């Protein structure tokens, strides 16, 4: 049974704080394993990759191939249905259009003292893209990670993916073909992340690594942060739905279950101002569950991490919504804009009754790689900026260094840095 809270109850504040603070992230002690894997790949390179891939994925890289070729991706694209191909191409076009608008502007100006100053954005040289194998091998994730890198202008994208027993999802290859990915390595896990970060004889190192993965992949990225750039520390998916009684309970139930079905650690939370509607949604969830091929996962997630929170009104809800800082936030009310202006922390917001979160997972355009675990308090969804960096610049002349240089000399001397002071003072007339 999911948690039920009522803001009128005396212990509500305590119970809600417990919900906010609950950690759903895997507590497995993978850290030490990952450290050992990174160390071995760094020391042994390709030989370590071949050994781990043989053991974990039952795929012999040297006998059965290290890579998937663009021709294989193209063949996969040709093999899928027209409906799916059209859907992937619509998704790619809309994701591209949305991300094109994220490209940052350079600046370059001369201020009143004659100092020229500004900033130039450039893409990273190479991005590594992790694509999970098995159940979570999602073509949509590939598009969401590869397209911002392409739009940023990254010239090399190296994709890694585990191919258990040599198998790989043809839809993923079709998506790779659409995204124009030409370098695909049949390695996965922490060892693949290590190879991308450090480089091996076969795999050249990259500058940024993005893409979802299991606890080992996430921990490898965390440990390598600083050696390379990474997208974010990702945790289980979550949705928060704010819905009034005018919604169809079946729709809201489906929305909640669309997160629950991802993983047993996923979380779905409903805020509503109507007790009868809360009951109706709970009932609709129970009715929908047996219809799902993902029933086992969804039922476990809903029972363990689901919550229905009854509030007096949505004015009361919004500060609570901000405390949860959810990855996905649906505002299924008459005037979603009024609530949206009160949102300070959320990964992505879905406005109104006709905007189910799942439409954003696939084809709407905004990125579906979003901060989880309350990290929307301080981080953003994946964007073109994750594949670019800014170089600031300055240019002074005799007049402008005369205008601002003496202050620099004074501060450098006060900070006890005489070479700093000299490098400016020598240039003053």
Q: Who contacts 156 (Cβ-Cβ below 8 Å, separation ≥6)?
A: 125, 126, 127, 183, 204, 206
Binding to a copy of itself (CB under 8 A) within 268-297 occurs at 288, 291-294
- CA 16/CA 349 separation, integer angstroms: 22
User: 37 or 349, CB closer to a copy of itself?
Assistant: 349
Residue 109: CB atoms within 10 A of its CB come to: 8
User: 20 or 275, CB closer to a copy of itself?
Assistant: 20
Binding to a copy of itself (CB under 8 A) within 342-401 occurs at 343-367, 370-371, 375-381, 383, 385, 389-398, 400-401
Q: Is 368 annotated as a binding residue?
A: no
Do β-strands 208-210 and 229-230 pair in parallel, antiparallel, or remain unpaired? parallel
Stretch that binds a copy of itself, among 36-44, 56-64, 177-185, 405-413 (CB under 8 A): 405-413
- CA 381/CA 256 separation, integer angstroms: 21
Helix (H) or strand (E) holding 419: helix 418-425
Q: Is 415 annotated as a binding residue?
A: yes
Of residues 136, 99, 326, the one with CA closest to residue 212 = 136
Of residues 114, 94, 107, the one with CA closest to residue 368 = 94
- CA 319/CA 198 separation, integer angstroms: 44
User: 258 or 267, CB closer to a copy of itself?
Assistant: 258
415 binds a copy of itself (CB under 8 A): yes
From candidates 47, 75, 233, 303, binder to a copy of itself by CB under 8 A: 233
249 binds a copy of itself (CB under 8 A): no
Torsion sign (Cα): 261, 264, 270, 276: positive
The nearest distance, CB 78 to a copy of itself, in angstroms, is: 16
The nearest distance, CB 48 to a copy of itself, in angstroms, is: 19
The nearest distance, CB 98 to a copy of itself, in angstroms, is: 6
* 8 Å CB contact between 414 and 124: no
Active-site residues, by number, are 327-328
71 binds a copy of itself (CB under 8 A): no
416 binds a copy of itself (CB under 8 A): yes
User: 5 or 242, CB closer to a copy of itself?
Assistant: 242
- CA 32/CA 277 separation, integer angstroms: 47
From candidates 145, 214, 258, 305, binder to a copy of itself by CB under 8 A: 258
- CA 379/CA 382 separation, integer angstroms: 9
245 binds a copy of itself (CB under 8 A): no
From candidates 26, 47, 245, 250, binder to a copy of itself by CB under 8 A: 250
Binding to a copy of itself (CB under 8 A) within 101-160 occurs at 101, 107, 111, 115-117, 119, 122, 124-125, 135, 138-140
From candidates 2, 45, 148, 229, binder to a copy of itself by CB under 8 A: 229
- CA 368/CA 232 separation, integer angstroms: 13
24 binds a copy of itself (CB under 8 A): no
Q: Is 259 annotated as a binding residue?
A: yes
Of residues 364, 374, 288, 273, the one with CA closest to residue 329 = 374
Q: Is 361 annotated as a binding residue?
A: yes
User: 53 or 336, CB closer to a copy of itself?
Assistant: 336
- CA 28/CA 42 separation, integer angstroms: 24
254 binds a copy of itself (CB under 8 A): yes
Q: Is 420 annotated as a binding residue?
A: yes
Binding to a copy of itself (CB under 8 A) within 167-196 occurs at 171
The nearest distance, CB 47 to a copy of itself, in angstroms, is: 21
User: 140 or 163, CB closer to a copy of itself?
Assistant: 140
Q: Is 99 annotated as a binding residue?
A: no
Stretch that binds a copy of itself, among 8-16, 145-153, 255-263, 269-277 (CB under 8 A): 255-263
User: 5 or 173, CB closer to a copy of itself?
Assistant: 173
C-alpha distance from residue 411 to each of 98, 262, 384, 423, 425 (Å): 45, 56, 38, 13, 12
Q: Is 81 annotated as a binding residue?
A: no
The nearest distance, CB 55 to a copy of itself, in angstroms, is: 27
Find how far residue 267's CA is from the centre of its chain: 16
83 binds a copy of itself (CB under 8 A): yes
Concatenate the DSSP letters of all residues of 154-191 into one string: -SEEEEE---GGG---HHHHHHHHHHT--EEES--HHH
From candidates 228, 240, 280, 311, binder to a copy of itself by CB under 8 A: 228
Concatenate the DSSP letters of all residues of 43-57 into one string: HHTHHHHHHHHHHHH
Q: Which residues are annotated as a binding site for Zn(2+)?
A: 259, 262, 361, 420
């Amino acid at each position: 049974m999911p948690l039920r809270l009522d803001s009128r109850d005396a212990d509500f504040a305590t119970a809600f704080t417990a919900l906010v603070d609950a950690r759903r992230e895997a507590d497995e002690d993978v850290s030490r394993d990952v450290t050992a894997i990174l160390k071995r790949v760094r020391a042994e390179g390709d030989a370590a990759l071949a050994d781990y891939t043989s053991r974990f994925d039952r795929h012999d890289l040297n006998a059965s191939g290290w890579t998937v070729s663009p021709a294989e991706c193209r063949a996969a694209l040709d093999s899928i249905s027209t409906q799916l191909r059209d859907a992937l191409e619509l998704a790619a076009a809309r994701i591209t259009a949305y991300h094109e608008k994220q490209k940052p502007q350079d600046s370059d100006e001369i201020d009143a003292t004659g100092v020229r100053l500004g900033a130039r954005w450039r893409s990273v040289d190479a991005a590594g893209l992790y694509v999970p194998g098995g159940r979570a091998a999602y073509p949509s994730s590939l598009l969401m990670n590869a397209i911002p890198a392409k739009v940023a202008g990254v010239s090399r994208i190296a994709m890694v993916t585990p191919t258990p027993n040599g198998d790989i999802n043809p839809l993923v290859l079709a998506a790779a073909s659409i995204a124009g990915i030409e370098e695909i390595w049949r390695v996965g896990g922490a060892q693949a992340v290590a190879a991308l970060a450090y480089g091996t004889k076969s795999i050249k190192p990259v500058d940024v690594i993005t893409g979802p993965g299991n606890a080992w992949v996430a921990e490898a990225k965390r440990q390598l942060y600083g050696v390379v750039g990474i997208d974010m520390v990702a945790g289980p998916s979550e949705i928060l739905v704010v819905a009034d009684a005018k919604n169809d309970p079946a729709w809201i139930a489906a929305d909640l279950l669309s997160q629950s079905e991802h993983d047993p650690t996923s979380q779905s939370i409903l805020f509503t101002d109507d007790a009868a509607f809360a009951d109706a949604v709970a009932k609709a969830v129970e009715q929908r569950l047996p219809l799902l091929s993902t029933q086992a996962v969804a039922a476990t997630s809903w029972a363990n991490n689901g919550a229905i929170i009854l509030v007096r009104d949505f004015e009361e809800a919004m500060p609570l919504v901000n405390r949860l800082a959810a990855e996905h936030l649906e505002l299924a009310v008459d005037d979603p804009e009024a609530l949206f202006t009160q949102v300070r922390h959320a990964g992505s917001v879905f406005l109104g009754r006709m905007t189910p979160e799942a439409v954003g997972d696939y084809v709407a355009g905004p990125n579906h790689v979003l901060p989880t675990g309350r990290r929307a308090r301080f981080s953003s969804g994946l964007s073109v900026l994750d594949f670019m960096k800014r170089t600031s610049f300055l240019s002074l002349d005799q007049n402008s260094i005369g205008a601002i240089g003496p202050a620099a000399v004074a501060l450098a001397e006060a900070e006890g840095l005489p070479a700093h002071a000299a490098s400016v003072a020598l240039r003053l007339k």
